[in-house]
Every structure is written in structure tokens, then in C-alpha cells.
């Protein structure tokens, strides 16, 4: 039987010690964009679970049918799976995955959270028009990728368009996350590139302003595009995440 999941976009589990990392990919993305980070963390000896969000990495029509609650349920599944074998669990998300990482930090028993290239809100005047627009334009085209690593860019696995209805769900997810951010009390690391053309860099400061947790750190990158986990400064990202977790986890 032919696989339903896109080639090289499968979820992954690397078994290691009692420190578990939940890796959450982004909007229209796949677990592949978190795999290099997963390999790095597993090499450090840790347990790593790279989940597949509902409606992703199969067919774009599947994503149109998914709600933001379905995406959060995928994250909750991952938290529960890691909690069954790990004493400490860290969520690490890219883009919308970072939003889900923040919301998970408010909802579930996590020990730290990392949000990478993460939107705090959508700055688009077309948002009120999306619902009627989705009836006549089910998909919106993507711009050119801003990734500088040509090899990773060519191998990147994702949907090639945005389901219009899914953008509405993303906006709802962001609103719920903004509402819950003040409740986060665990250590948080925020990572963003100044060259990100997908999610403006200003979103990093928006999160920092509204986070009340006593331990919040940031890493500002200079060159990478939106998917920093696959781009030219990824090794800096990986080292920073590892160092952060080693410092805040007993």
C-alpha cells in the first residue's frame, strides 16, 4: 500500500535518556524541518519525538479540514507519549509550532519551552475578508522561500500553498495563545532571525513583552530565513537550545 504521508516527511522517535524533547513543525510544514535538530539532540543522548500535526504531510485537502484544536490535540498526544517514559519534557516549535509550544506551556506539564520564528499575531489587513474569500479561493500562493542553504531548500518538504481556511484557524490559534501567555511560568527561549521574511522579527519582542515567566531568554540571528532549523545558522540554534535546557533543567 502506498504511504499516505509525504516522502521524507514522517514523524520520528529517537529513544534516549529521561529528558524528552517534543519537536513541533510549522504551518503547512512537516516533521522533516525539525529532523536535523532532532538528530542533534539525540546525539546528546536525549529522547526526541518529532510529531506530525493533524492535516499536515499528507494532502493539502486534509489540512483544510483541520481546526486549531486538532493541531493542539496532536501536541497533547506528543506530551503524553513523552511523559510516559521521560521525567522532563521540553517543547520546541517552529513558526506555528512555536505558537503551539507556547500554548502547550500554558496547558500541559512541561519543564521548559522553545519558540522559533514564531508569530505573535498576523499583521494582515485582509484577515476580515478571509472567510468569504475562502469560498472562492480555497488556496493562496506562497512566495519564494527565503532559505539561504540551497541544499536544504531543494529538499524542504511542505505544502506548496496555504489553505485559506487554515489561515483563519491559525489566526484563532494565535488569539488563544495571546490570551494564555501570561499564565506561562516555566523557562522560555525565543529564537528569531532578523532576516525572516515569513514572520517579522518584531514578533520576538511582542512575546518577550507579554511573558511573565521569571526565566525568559532570546537568541537573535542575523542571516537565516524563516526555517532556521534548516538554514545556515542552524548549528548556533541547536547549541543555544541545548545550553538553555542544560541551565534551566535540574
Q: What is the pLDDT of residues 132-171, one digit of tens each?
A: 777 778 888 888 899 999 999 999 989 999 999 999 999 9
Q: Is the predicted pLDDT of residue 177 greater than 80, yes or no?
A: yes
Q: What is the pLDDT of residues 59-107, one digit of tens each?
A: 999 999 999 999 999 999 999 999 999 999 999 999 999 999 999 999 9
Q: Domain map of the chain by residue range?
A: 12-248
Q: Is the predicted pLDDT of residue 120 greater than 80, yes or no?
A: yes
> What does the pLDDT read at residue 49?
98
Rg from Cα positions in the chain = 17
Q: Which among 138, 146, 144 is positioned nearest to 162, based on CA atoms?
A: 138
Partners of residue 93 on adjacent β-strands = 24, 115
Partners of residue 92 on adjacent β-strands = 23, 114
Q: Is the predicted pLDDT of residue 125 greater than 90, yes or no?
A: no
Q: What is the pLDDT of residues 31-47, one digit of tens each?
A: 999 999 999 999 999 99
Nearest 5°: CA angle at 234, between 191 and 174? 35
Computed over every residue of the chain, the mean pLDDT equals: 95
CATH of 12-248, one of 3.40.50.1820, 3.40.50.720, 3.40.50.740, 3.90.1150.10: 3.40.50.1820
Task: Say how far residue 199 (Cα) sits from the centre of its chain.
Answer: 12
Amino acid at each position: 500500500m502506498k504511504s499516505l504521508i509525504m516522502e521524507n516527511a514522517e514523524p520520528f522517535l529517537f529513544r534516549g535518556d529521561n529528558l524528552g524533547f517534543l519537536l513541533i513543525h510549522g504551518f503547512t510544514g512537516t516533521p522533516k524541518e525539525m529532523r536535523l535538530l532532532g538528530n542533534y539532540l539525540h546525539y546528546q543522548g536525549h529522547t526526541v519525538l518529532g510529531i506530525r500535526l493533524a492535516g499536515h504531510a499528507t494532502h493539502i485537502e486534509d489540512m483544510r479540514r483541520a481546526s486549531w484544536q486538532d493541531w493542539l490535540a496532536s501536541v497533547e498526544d506528543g506530551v503524553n507519549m513523552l511523559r510516559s517514559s521521560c521525567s522532563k519534557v521540553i517543547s520546541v516549535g517552529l513558526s506555528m509550532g512555536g505558537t503551539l509550544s507556547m500554548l502547550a506551556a500554558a496547558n500541559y506539564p512541561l519543564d521548559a519551552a522553545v519558540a522559533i520564528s514564531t508569530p505573535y499575531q498576523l499583521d494582515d489587513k485582509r484577515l476580515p475578508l478571509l472567510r468569504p474569500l475562502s469560498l472562492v479561493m480555497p488556496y493562496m500562493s506562497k512566495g519564494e522561500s527565503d532559505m539561504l542553504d540551497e541544499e536544504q531548500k531543494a529538499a524542504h518538504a511542505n505544502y506548496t500553498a496555504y489553505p485559506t481556511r487554515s489561515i483563519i484557524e491559525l489566526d484563532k490559534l494565535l488569539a488563544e495563545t495571546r490570551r494564555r501567555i501570561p499564565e506561562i511560568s516555566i523557562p522560555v527561549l525565543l529564537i528569531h532571525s532578523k532576516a525572516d521574511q515569513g514572520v517579522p522579527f518584531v514578533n520576538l519582542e511582542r512575546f518577550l513583552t507579554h511573558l511573565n515567566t521569571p526565566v525568559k531568554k532570546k537568541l537573535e540571528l542575523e542571516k537565516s530565513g524563516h526555517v532556521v532549523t534548516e538554514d545556515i545558522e542552524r548549528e548556533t540554534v541547536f547549541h543555544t537550545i541545548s545550553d538553555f535546557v542544560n541551565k534551566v533543567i535540574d
